[in-house]
């Protein structure tokens, strides 16, 4: 009953994603009803044919054979229409579920994304969504065949109640073992899916991180880890198949015994003149439908329902679980000036080690700031908190004097851009990467953004110009070119606040100068904050802040800090060596 209630609930939820295609579903249901009628009628018509044939009534026999032919042709046409409409319904439903799931994944808290491998989400987006929609296609086929089997039982009852009782008892025995089989296999299937998530995640890491794996000379160790998980996945699959095969062997043996007994029972009925030979042949022709087909359909339908429920649980756990989603305020700002302030902020990623410790800082609009400090001091964390990728434990973060927890997502992320050391560039053309930010952007806007980012001269040298595909992660571009493309994206987005997180630390001096020139093009028009190991990147900032032990210990211009701060002076001397 619990399985049935869960199934009906999930069926309604999934139907909501496919109701746009309900016309296809209605046609499919009508065709399934026709198919059920055809399946039930064929043995009855065949029985009449046998009677006419054995009685040498040739006209009736020929007429009945033509009816059988017509019914079979009708059945084939019916199947074609069913398949055509089920594919339309399935395709549209899968697309809608995948779109909804993808949107909800992007709403997840960053901590939830950090805690799960990408494979877990890939499996849900691909395999699970397909299995959910399959219930209305493959599942309906199972239901149709099951109802045909039930119809056959009704036909048997009409013909002879003795065989009805025998077939019914046989079906109950086989159904019991099929039910136990599906319970056992279902538990193993859940274990297999969880392990498949891990393998999918590692496979994704293999592709995305291939370069680093090679350069770290970690091929053997990575392959060892991958092989361990693939082996475990194979073992889980083998365990599930073993349970399935063991029960199938037992069930097949029972079917053989019951089929043999069917012959014995029919001989007995004929011998005692309870049924004629023609009727006995017709009743025997039902054996596959009520013994083999019925039980297989029941088993497959139960398996389909269990897979459907498991997939729905995995997908709706993300879609409907509000506790794991980012929560924003309701206040909206169409435009911002670009001021922000941190007031007494404490933060820890693991609830143990403080990354920020009573941090306070104030940033004024249209000015350029630099933040310096050792690795692990919390520089990047400041940016993460400002964009609400994470939330502080206490204190306040103000954007134009408004607590960011009161603001909606667009007011925050629609006005702030972070440019990282390794910005993610999508495997699209340069133009398409820029259009992701603003779909209706003009060619002139694209070229102007690339000019300000000092990227236009590079693009003009590429064989396909702005239509050049940059490869996964922007692999076809150099590090500096990826940085400048990220800056161009920020310019197109026209966010008031632009944050540079170690944007030039891995670049050569010439490329750094190009990036610095691009940053200079933005000065006085945007609020810019730069985290840098290279102090040459921030020497021209309006103010430089020193971060130590999770708090700001000093601030001033480059000249002021050079004269008054020993730590800053030491950092400058180290860079000059």
Short-list 3, 1, 35, 538, CA closest to 312: 3
- According to the model, what pLDDT value does residue 363 have? 92
CA separation for the pair 83, 88 (Å, rounded) = 9
Q: Which residue has the tokens 């992701």?
A: 436
* E strand intervals along 292-355: 340-347
Short-list 94, 76, 93, 95, CA closest to 25: 93
CATH 1.20.1560.10 maps onto the chain at 19-321
The number of residues in the chain equals: 577
149 to 159, 308, 333: CA distances (angstroms): 15, 23, 63
- According to the model, what pLDDT value does residue 213 have? 64
Residues 6+ apart with CB under 8 A from 562: 568, 569, 572
- According to the model, what pLDDT value does residue 368 have? 92
Short-list 181, 230, 173, 177, CA closest to 203: 230
Short-list 192, 120, 138, 545, CA closest to 372: 545
Short-list 359, 411, 412, 366, CA closest to 381: 359
Q: What is the pLDDT along the chain (577 residues), one digit of tens a residue?
A: 556 788 888 888 888 888 888 888 888 788 877 777 776 666 666 655 555 565 655 666 566 666 667 767 777 787 788 777 878 888 888 888 888 888 888 888 887 777 776 767 877 888 888 888 888 777 777 777 777 777 778 777 878 888 888 888 888 888 788 778 878 887 888 888 888 877 877 777 776 666 556 655 666 777 787 888 888 888 888 888 888 888 888 888 888 888 889 889 888 888 888 887 777 877 777 777 777 666 677 777 777 788 888 888 888 888 887 767 888 899 998 888 989 999 999 998 887 788 999 999 999 999 999 998 888 888 889 988 998 988 888 889 999 999 999 999 888 888 888 887 777 788 788 888 888 877 788 888 888 888 887 888 888 888 888 888 887 667 778 777 887 888 888 778 778 898 888 766 555 666 677 767 777 777 888 899 998 777 777 888 899 999 988 899 999 998 998 888 888 888 787 765 5
* β-sheet bridge partners, residue 530: 370, 500
Structure tokens at 63: 């007429």
- Contact present, 141 and 33 (Cβ < 8 Å): no
* β-sheet bridge partners, residue 397: 342
Q: Which residue has the tokens 């133009």?
A: 431
- 13: left (phi > 0), else alpha (psi -120 to 50), else beta? alpha
Q: Decide if domain 340-576 falls under CATH 3.40.50.300.
A: yes
- Contact present, 26 and 324 (Cβ < 8 Å): no
CA separation for the pair 500, 383 (Å, rounded) = 9
* β-sheet bridge partners, residue 362: 341
Q: For residue 57, which phi and psi values (nearest 5 degrees)?
A: -95, 85
* E strand intervals along 414-459: 416-420
Structure tokens at 506: 């891995």
Q: For residue 374, which phi and psi values (nearest 5 degrees)?
A: -70, 165
CA separation for the pair 313, 517 (Å, rounded) = 52
- C-alpha of 102 from chain center: 6
Interstrand relation of 368-372 and 356-363 (parallel, antiparallel or unpaired): unpaired
| Per-residue DSSP letter, 473 | G
| CATH number corresponding to 19-321 | 1.20.1560.10
235 to 189, 220, 306, 311: CA distances (angstroms): 12, 22, 21, 21
Q: If DSSP codes are grouped into helix, strand and coil, which group holds residue 421?
A: coil
CA separation for the pair 236, 189 (Å, rounded) = 8
429 to 426, 462, 515: CA distances (angstroms): 8, 12, 21
Question: The whole model's pTM is what?
Answer: 0.67
């Amino acid at each position: 009953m619990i399985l049935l209630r869960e199934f009906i609930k999930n069926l309604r939820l999934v139907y909501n994603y496919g109701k746009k295609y309900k016309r296809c579903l209605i046609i499919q249901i009508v065709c399934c009803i026709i198919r059920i009628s055809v399946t039930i009628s064929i043995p009855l018509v065949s029985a009449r044919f046998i009677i006419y044939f054995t009685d040498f009534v040739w006209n009736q026999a020929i007429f009945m054979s033509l009816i059988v032919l017509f019914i079979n042709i009708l059945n084939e046409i019916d199947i074609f229409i069913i398949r055509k409409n089920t594919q339309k319904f399935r395709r549209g439903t899968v697309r809608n579920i995948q779109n909804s799931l993808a949107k909800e994944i992007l709403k997840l808290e960053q901590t939830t994304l950090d805690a799960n491998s990408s494979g877990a989400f890939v499996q849900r987006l691909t395999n699970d969504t397909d299995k959910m929609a399959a219930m209305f296609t493959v599942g309906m086929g199972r239901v149709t065949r099951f109802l045909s089997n039930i119809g056959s039982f009704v036909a048997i009852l009409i013909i002879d109640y003795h065989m009805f009782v025998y077939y019914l008892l046989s079906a109950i025995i086989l159904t019991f073992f099929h039910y136990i089989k599906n319970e056992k296999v279902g538990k193993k299937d859940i274990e297999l899916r969880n392990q498949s998530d891990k393998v999918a995640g590692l496979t994704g890491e293999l592709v995305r991180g291939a370069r680093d794996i090679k350069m770290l000379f970690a091929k053997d160790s990575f392959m060892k880890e991958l092989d361990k998980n693939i082996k475990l996945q194979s073992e889980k699959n083998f365990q599930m198949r073993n349970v399935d095969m063991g029960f199938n062997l037992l069930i097949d043996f029972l079917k053989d015994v019951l089929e043999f007994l069917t012959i014995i029972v029919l001989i007995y009925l004929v011998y005692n003149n309870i049924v004629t030979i023609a009727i006995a042949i017709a009743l025997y022709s039902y054996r596959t439908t009520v013994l083999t087909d019925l039980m297989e359909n029941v088993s497959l339908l139960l398996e389909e329902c269990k897979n459907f429920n498991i997939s729905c649980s995995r997908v709706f756990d993300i879609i409907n679980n509000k506790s794991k989603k980012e929560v924003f305020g309701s206040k909206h700002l169409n435009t911002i000036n670009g001021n922000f302030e941190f007031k007494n902020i404490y933060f820890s990623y693991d609830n143990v080690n403080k990354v920020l410790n009573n941090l306070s800082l104030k940033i004024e609009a249209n000015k350029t700031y630099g933040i310096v400090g050792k690795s692990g001091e919390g520089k990047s964390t400041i940016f993460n908190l400002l964009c609400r990728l994470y939330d502080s434990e206490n204190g306040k973060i103000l954007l134009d004097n408004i607590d960011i927890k009161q603001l909606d997502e667009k007011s925050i992320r629609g006005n702030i851009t972070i440019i990282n050391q390794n910005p993610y560039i999508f495997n699209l053309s340069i133009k398409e990467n820029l259009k992701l930010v603003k779909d209706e952007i003009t060619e002139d806007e694209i070229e102007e953004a690339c000019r300000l980012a000092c990227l236009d001269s590079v693009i003009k040298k590429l064989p396909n110009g702005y239509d050049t595909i940059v490869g996964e992660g922007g692999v076809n571009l150099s590090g500096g070119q990826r940085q400048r493309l990220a800056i161009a994206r920020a310019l197109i987005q026209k966010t008031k606040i632009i944050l540079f997180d170690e944007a030039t630390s891995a670049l050569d001096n010439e490329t750094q100068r190009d990036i610095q020139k691009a940053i200079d093009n933005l000065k006085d028009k945007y609020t810019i904050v730069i985290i840098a190991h290279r102090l040459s990147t921030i020497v021209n900032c309006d103010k430089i802040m020193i971060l130590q032990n999770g708090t700001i210990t000093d601030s001033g211009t480059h000249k002021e800090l050079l004269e008054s701060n020993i730590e800053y002076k030491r950092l400058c001397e180290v860079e000059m060596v």
